[in-house]
Amino acid sequence: MFNVYLFILLLAACKSNDVTPVTSANVADVYKKIYGASSITSDGTFITIKTTGAPDHKSAYYATSNSLYENFTGTTFGGSTFRKNPNSISSLNYTFKIPANPKVDNAHAATPLGPIGVSLNGVPFFNQYAGPSQPLSGEVVSFDQYWGHPAQGGDYHYHVEPLYLTNVKASKSALLGFLLDGFPVYGPEENGAAVTNAMLDAYHGHTSATADYPSGIYHYHINATDPYINGSGFYGTAGTVSR
């Protein structure tokens, strides 16, 4: 009887660890901040991050039977009155491969529609367009209480500041994730001040020391002004994303 009881305890302990990302030993600590990943590994050239893309916060886009469903009738990004789109959140299988040692790419390839990076909770970042060269102005009304929404395929994503990360899990100046080129993404504040587009380059970033990179690194900033996350293309050579 004792052995059976011990087995049950061990089994429960194993199950409780299922939510912890499987991380290889050679992954730098900064990538371990991506708490929404199911696994984070490295082959020395690329960091491979696997996520479902489903947010860990409440949303009006979850099914009403989901514990994370929460109705929303307030104002959303830019002071717009929220209007729910017809889509629902799906759990998908993303694999992000980003350079372990990001480097500038003089070609600065344009960001595609769809995922351009991954946030700390595993939700993808999208660029500043609702469609090919279509501004977000007509789409922001569908951003939920944490300023994200799902596309037709159920792929939930952030085009703008992820409020759950900046207001609940971290802060306005914290690391929020990485773009596909491996360069980090930070919030709308730095050194206690708001980051404006005038402080950033054409790609919506700049080089300076951060809490995670005290020796300095190029990094993007999310703010409330178009292009929100990224500007005229990736600063570095982009990796890949599949699902």
The residue ranges of every structural domain in the chain are: 57-91+103-236
Alpha-carbon distances of 37 from 53, 92, 124, 174, rounded to whole Å? 9, 12, 11, 18
Omega of the bond leading into 150 within 30 degrees of 0 (cis): no
pLDDT at 214: 97
pLDDT at 11: 39
3-class DSSP state for residue 3? helix
Token look-up 């729910």 returns 84
Per-residue pLDDT of the chain (243 residues; tens, 9 = 90+): 434 433 333 333 333 334 567 777 789 999 999 999 999 999 999 999 999 999 999 999 999 999 999 999 999 999 999 999 999 999 999 999 999 999 999 999 999 999 999 999 999 999 999 999 899 999 999 999 999 999 999 999 999 999 999 999 999 999 999 999 999 999 999 999 999 999 999 999 999 999 999 999 999 999 999 999 999 999 999 999 999
Label residues 155-194 b or e (16+ Cβ within 10 Å = b). Answer: bbbbbbbbbbbbeebbebbbbbbbbbbbbbbbbbbbeeee
Compute the distance between CA of residue 35 and CA of residue 238 in angstroms, rounded to an integer.
22
pLDDT at 19: 52
Compute the distance between CA of residue 220 and CA of residue 86 in angstroms, rounded to an integer.
31
